Amino acid sequence: MERNDWPRVLLAWFDANRRDLPWRESKPRNPYHVWISEIMLQQTRTEAVKPYFSAWMERFPTISDVAAADEAEVLHAWQGLGYYSRARNIHKAAQVIAEQYGGVMPRDPEDIRALPGIGDYTAGAVASIAYGEKRPAVDGNVLRVYARLYAVREDILKSAGRKYITKLAEETIPGDRPGDFNEALMDLGAEVCIPKHPRCAACPLRGFCEAARLGIEAELPVRTKKKPQTEWQAACAIVERDGRFLLHRRPPKGMLANMWEFPMALAPEAEESRTALEKLLGGCAGEVRWTLTHVFTHRIWHMRAYDMETACAPSGEDWRWFTRKELRQIPLAGPHARLAAIV
């Protein structure tokens, strides 16, 4: 076979091995389903996304339903997936689609790309998978597959490496099945051409792979090493009065914006964070009732929750009391939803 036959071989493999996923069920493919699944899959494992996707579609069957909801409802539906800016951008984009496109995802890739929270990858995925447009969808899986297939030694996290691989994808994507081709690359990267210990013996493209021929598949792709995460001690307070719990709403900008959390103080050392929490609430922290280490992209929280029987609620509209039932209905900041489950 010729070198440029590999897309046809990949599609044949995909036809026999494609993953059964809930967002792939509709025929023709629903652009709304493609969009939401791709946003959910950013930084989140496929198996973890499946129940969230199904629950989301039950709650918001159409783009117009998302647009009509308030932000708190959208954030609550997203709770547990993390990276809440994704949910906020979905809400903003849905409102644009409702106002400018009658609640239907636009077909033109440039119009899709212009929506809040949508980059080149998601625009390419929606345009190719839902609308059959010849557009690449280059994510981490695809970068890795091309880097090995063509023995690309450029850093895939830098602009030059990404641009080079995107050009390769543009040149090799077949015009008759662009959506299937993009999904085939995603599946190959997720199931076979995995980051560590690639399953080369099971790869349909082994005969075309330059990295395999050179014996350097374990060395590719080249990636810049990430900076180490900063670690913080997080002291949290469980303050209960007459069946209601004191919570604080985070600022409207920044990490976990506008999400509710139990009173919390961050510091480099555990004793510092506990002291800061006691100063914040004017009370004494009791026994540790709950612990959790929560890992974000750039930081780690080592969390301890203390019972605080003597505490004063700070003034301001960002401090409120909630019943246990209400705790299940409001958007809680990431790990604080897990704390709410035990009170």
Q: Which residues are catalytic?
A: 38
In degrees, to the nearest 5, what angle opens at C-alpha 272 toward C-alphas 267 and 277? 85
Q: Which residues contact 118 (CB under 8 A, 6 or more apart)?
A: 35, 89, 93, 112, 126
Helix, strand, or coil (residue 159): helix
Name the nearest CA neighbour of 240 among 182, 286, 196: 286
Q: Count Cβ atoms within 10 A of the Cβ of residue 297 and give its class: 0-12 exposed, 13-18 middle, 19 or more buried.
A: exposed
Compute the Cα dihedral for 163, 169, 172, 176 and give only its sign: negative
Whether 200 contacts 217, CB under 8 Å: yes
299 and 232 Cβ atoms separated by less than 8 Å: yes
